[in-house]
Every structure is written in structure tokens, then in C-alpha cells.
């Protein structure tokens, strides 16, 4: 069989900060960890990812890290954080946009560029996949890519997504719903 005959597979696209790692909250708004000392995997994330992986999902982190473009975070620090997450969690890939809004790139959420890039590279079927995020940009990127969406609602003091397929309190809640839905279909 040639590579064109491979089966497409479903994926779970995950925002990083607020979905798998604990963001720093200042003024009811989330900010990414600035250093390894601040990097912490949220409770329940390891088990949720293991269950999703066992359920046959490709696990892909898609993260905006505009602090790199803003000069307040070094790319090497962000890369090493992502490498550490890949070493301790069953992730297939971590894709990162290092741009800010003014850069007009296609990879910065709410545009779906990171998701569509991962779908191409990892042979993922977006219509059978889910985007899990804690901010409107994540949900909009997932919607534009054709994924079903889960909004983890932490009550941040910022714009909420216009429409998410599911509103949950954690990645563990999302994983339970995804795996129950699969069992029923």
C-alpha cells in the first residue's frame, strides 16, 4: 500500500496553558508559565491523556506563545518546556505559533493553521477530531478546522467563545465525554 492509502485517524488538539499546564492567573486573566519553575501539569491531565491515547486518538498540542514575538520569552525556553511535556505525557506532537496578532501569520489561533498543519503531517481527519481549549481563540480555531470543540470554562475575565460544542470544567471532563460518545457510536 502506498502512503495515499493510509487510514486517516482522529485527534485531540489541545491548547497548552490552561488545558494541560497551569496558567498563572493575574487579574482573572491567564498567562503562560515563564520558566520551568512555573511549569506544572494540571491534576487529572496524565490520566485523561492516557485514556484518550488508549481510545485511539492522536494527541497534539497547538499553542500560541506570542511572548516570544514580544521578546518576553526566549524561544529556547518555550521549546524546552514543550520537549519536557512530550517526555512526560503521551503526546504525538507539540506545534507552537511564536507570532503576535500584528504578524498576520496563519498559525496564530483563532486561525486554524496549526491544526491543519498537524492534520496534514499526522494524517488526521479533522471532522472526527476535537479541539480542547480554555479561550475563545482555541474554540474558533477548532471550529474553523472542522473539529468538534470543548471549552474549559475557568471564568476568565475576557471574551468567551461564541459557540463551543461542549462546555466543561477540565480536560478530564472532556475526555470522559469523548470516550463515552465513542462507546455509543
Could you give all domains of the chain from N- to C-terminal order, each with its CATH number? 9-184 (3.40.50.1000)
Is pLDDT of 4 > 60? no
Q: Are 67 and 35 in contact (CB under 8 A)?
A: no
pTM of the model: 0.94
Mean pLDDT of the chain: 93
Active-site entry in 5, 17, 83, 157: 17
Q: Which of 15, 92, 134, 138 is catalytic?
A: 15
pLDDT digits (tens, 9 = 90+) for 129-170: 999 999 999 999 999 999 999 999 999 999 989 889 999 999
The answer to whether the beta carbons of residues 142 and 152 sit under 8 Å apart is no
Find the helix packing angle between 171-184 and 45-54, rounded to 10°.
20
Top pLDDT among 101 and 150 is at 150
Strand 24-26 relative to strand 29-31: parallel, antiparallel, unpaired? Answer: antiparallel
Task: Examine the pLDDT at 99 and tell me if it is beyond 50.
Answer: yes
Whether 17 is a known active-site residue: answer yes
Q: List pLDDT tens digits, range 26-68.
A: 999 999 999 989 999 999 999 999 999 999 999 999 999 999 9
- The 10 Å Cβ neighbour count of residue 41 is 15
Residue with the three cell numbers 482573572: 28
Does the pLDDT value for residue 3 go beyond 70?
A: no
The SS3 of residue 117 is helix
The pLDDT confidence band at residue 1, using thresholds 50, 70 and 90, is: very low
Amino acid at each position: 500500500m502506498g502512503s495515499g492509502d493510509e487510514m486517516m485517524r482522529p485527534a485531540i488538539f489541545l491548547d497548552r496553558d490552561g488545558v494541560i499546564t497551569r496558567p498563572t492567573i493575574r487579574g482573572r486573566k491567564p498567562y503562560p508559565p515563564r520558566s520551568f519553575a512555573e511549569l506544572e501539569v494540571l491534576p487529572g491531565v496524565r490520566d485523561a491523556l492516557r485514556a484518550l491515547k488508549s481510545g485511539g486518538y492522536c494527541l497534539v498540542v497547538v499553542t500560541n506563545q506570542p511572548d516570544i514575538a514580544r521578546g518576553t520569552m526566549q524561544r529556547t525556553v518555550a521549546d524546552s518546556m514543550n520537549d519536557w511535556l512530550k517526555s512526560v505525557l503521551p503526546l504525538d506532537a507539540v506545534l507552537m505559533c511564536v507570532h503576535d496578532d500584528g504578524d498576520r501569520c496563519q498559525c496564530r489561533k483563532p486561525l486554524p493553521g496549526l491544526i491543519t498543519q498537524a492534520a496534514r503531517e499526522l494524517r488526521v481527519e479533522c471532522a472526527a477530531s476535537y479541539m480542547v481549549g480554555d479561550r475563545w481563540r482555541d474554540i474558533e480555531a477548532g471550529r474553523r478546522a472542522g473539529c468538534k470543540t470543548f471549552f474549559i470554562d475557568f471564568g476568565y475575565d475576557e471574551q468567551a467563545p461564541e459557540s463551543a460544542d461542549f462546555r466543561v470544567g477540565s480536560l478530564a471532563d472532556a475526555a470522559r465525554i469523548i470516550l463515552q460518545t465513542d462507546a455509543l457510536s
